[in-house]
Amino acid sequence: MAYDKFTVLTSTAVPMPIENVDTDQIIPARFLKATKREGFDDNLFRDWRYNSDNTPKPDFVLNNPIYSGKILVGGRNFGSGSSREHAAWAIYDYGFRCVVSSFFADIFKGNSLNIGILPVQVSPEFLDKIFQAIEADPKSELEVSLPEQTITILSTGEKESFAINSYKKDNMINGYDDIDYLQAMKSEIKTFAEASLY
């Protein structure tokens, strides 16, 4: 099923220089009770974003009007823990289309790619440079080019390449997903299943 195509994204970014941001923080389990895929943005980072009486916590970055944009920049080991795709949905529903970190947890990375969020893994040094650029000027923009597989800090011109396999890259550029691919393989899968040991 097609999602938004991703080619080049130029945007300001929201900095979250915290390590090991786990999916329980991105969306706590008590907000996983929906049977439809809608409205998860309100509960993105719920317990970091709101007090228990639902008033916003002013020192949390999403509540700081200085920062905005379609790119979320997180610390090392972003998205660890639970496999809940709701974490990726919440990030997407909030308006982010790209998450940058120096290291991603596997399941989160896969979930993001499956719903049209581009996870961009950069070196720890480049991640620091991004944080510094945003700190110097919150309106500083990043340019993420999927065709070129590069991320650029526009204020300084510094650039780094990132990895993505060509299958997933083509999917994202064209808005295809894995189910489209697998539906075209049905007879091959059926033959394989008939020879299965289990």
Partner 1 sequence: MSTPKSLFDKVWDAHVVRKIEDGPDVLFIDRHFIHEVTSPVAFLGLETRGIGVSFPERTFATADHNTPTINQHLPVADPLSANQLKALETNSAKYGISHWGLGHVKNGIVHVVGPENGITQPGMTIVCGDSHTSTHGAFGAIAFGIGTSEVEMVLSSQCIMQPKPKKMRVNVNGKLGEAVMPKDVTLYIIAQLSAAGATGYFVEYAGDVFRNMSMEGRMTVCNMSIEMGARGGMIAPDATTFAYLNGKELAPKGEAWDKAVAYWKTLPTEEGATFDLEYTFDAADIEPQITYGTNPGLGTGISQNIPLANQVKDGEASYKKSLGYMGFAENEQIVGKPIDYVFLGSCTNGRIEDFRAFASIVKGRKKADNVTAWLVPGSHVVESQIKEEGILDILNEAGFELRQPGCSACLAMNDDKIPAGKYAVSTSNRNFEGRQGPGARTLLASPLVAAAAAVTGVVTDPRELI
Q: What residue ranges bind partner 1 (CB under 8 A)? A: 1, 17-20, 22, 24-25, 28-30, 32-37, 47, 52, 75-77, 80-86, 88, 103-107, 110-111, 114-115, 165-168, 177-179, 181-183, 185-186, 188-189, 192-193, 196-198
Minimum separation from the CB atom of position 182 to partner 1 (A): 4
- We find the least distance from the C-beta atom of residue 86 to partner 1, in angstroms, to be 8
Q: Give the shortest CB-77-to-partner 1 separation in angstroms.
A: 4
Residue among 65 and 190 whose Cβ is closer to partner 1? 190
Are the CB atoms for 117 and 110 separated by under 8 Å?
no
Query: Is the distance from CB of 159 to CB of 174 less than 8 angstroms?
Result: no
Comparison of 156 and 173: residue with beta carbon closer to partner 1:
173
Comparison of 52 and 55: residue with beta carbon closer to partner 1: 52
Of the two residues 12 and 84, which places its CB atom closer to partner 1 in the complex? 84
Shortest Cβ 117–partner 1 spacing (Å): 12
Contact 64, 57 (CB under 8 A): no
Residue 106 beta carbon to partner 1: minimum distance, rounded to whole angstroms: 5
CB of 10 to partner 1, least distance (A): 27
Instruction: Quote the CA–CA distance of 141 and 10 in Å, as a whole number.
Output: 7
User: Token pair for residue 77?
Assistant: 């080991």
Q: Are 100 and 120 in contact (CB under 8 A)?
A: yes
Judge whether 114 and 87 are in contact, CB under 8 Å: no
Closer CB to partner 1, residue 53 or residue 65? 53
- Nearby residues of 95 by Cβ (< 8 Å), 6 or more positions away: 41, 70
| Alpha-carbon span 2 to 18, nearest angstrom | 32
Q: How far apart are CA 169 and CA 119, in angstroms?
A: 11
- Choice between 139 and 192, CB closer to partner 1: 192
- State whether residue 3 is helix, strand or coil: coil
